[in-house]
Amino acid sequence: MPMNLKGRSLISLDDISATEIRHLLTLAAELKAAKHAGTEVPRLARKNIALIFEKDSTRTRTGFEVAAYDQGAHVTYLGPTGSQIGHKESMKDTARVLGRMYDAIEYRGFSQDLVKQLALHAGVPVYNGLTDEAHPTQIIADMLTMREYTHKHLSDMAVTFLGDIRNNVARSLSVGAMKVGLDLRLCGPAEFRPDDAFVDHLKALAGASGAKLTITDTIAKAVAGADFIYTDVWLSMGEAKALWAERIERLGPYRVTADVMRASGNPHAKFMHCLPAFHNADTEIGASLEKEFGIVGLEVTEEVFESRASIVFDQAENRMHAIKAILLATIGN
Site of interaction with ligand CP (CB under 6 A): 57-60, 130, 138, 274-275
Distance in Å, CB of 171 to ligand NVA, minimum: 10
Q: Determine, following the binding rule CB under 6 A, whether residue 167 of this chain makes contact with ligand NVA.
A: yes
Q: Determine, following the binding rule CB under 6 A, whether residue 318 of this chain makes contact with ligand NVA.
A: no
Asked if 218 and 136 touch (Cβ cutoff 8 Å), the reply is: no
Region of residue 121 (left: phi > 0; alpha: psi -120 to 50; beta: else): alpha
Helix, strand, or coil here: 229? strand
Rank residues 121 and 279 by Cβ distance to ligand NVA and give the closer one: 279
Q: Determine, following the binding rule CB under 6 A, whether residue 168 of this chain makes contact with ligand NVA.
A: yes
Q: Determine, following the binding rule CB under 6 A, whether residue 325 of this chain makes contact with ligand NVA.
A: no
115, burial (CB in 10 Å: exposed 0-12, middle 13-18, buried 19+): buried
Decide which of ligand CP, ligand NVA, none touches 233; Cβ closer than 5 to 8 Å per partner kind: ligand NVA
Residues 235-274, mask of contacts with ligand NVA (x by CB under 6 A): -xx------------------------------------x
User: In angstroms, rounded to a whole number, what is the distance separating the alpha carbons of residues 70 and 60?
Assistant: 15
Distance in Å, CB of 168 to ligand NVA, minimum: 5
Measured from the Cβ of residue 127, the count of other Cβ atoms closer than 10 Å reads 25
- Amino acid (one-letter) located at 64: F
Decide which of ligand CP, ligand NVA, none touches 168; Cβ closer than 5 to 8 Å per partner kind: ligand NVA
Q: Which stretch binds ligand NVA (CB under 6 A): 46-54, 72-80, 84-92, 231-239?
A: 231-239
Residue 40: CA atoms inside 13 Å, Cβ hemisphere, count? Answer: 24
Q: What is the DSSP string of 24-64?
A: HHHHHHHHHHHHHHT------TT-EEEEEESS--SHHHHHH
Asked if 125 and 330 touch (Cβ cutoff 8 Å), the reply is: yes
Q: Determine, following the binding rule CB under 6 A, whether residue 169 of this chain makes contact with ligand NVA.
A: yes
Distance in Å, CB of 236 to ligand NVA, minimum: 3
Q: Determine, following the binding rule CB under 6 A, whether residue 216 of this chain makes contact with ligand NVA.
A: no
Decide which of ligand CP, ligand NVA, none touches 58; Cβ closer than 5 to 8 Å per partner kind: ligand CP
Distance in Å, CB of 4 to ligand CP, minimum: 27
The residue count of the chain comes to 333
Asked if 154 and 182 touch (Cβ cutoff 8 Å), the reply is: yes
List residues binding ligand NVA (CB under 6 A).
Answer: 130, 167-169, 232-233, 236-237, 274
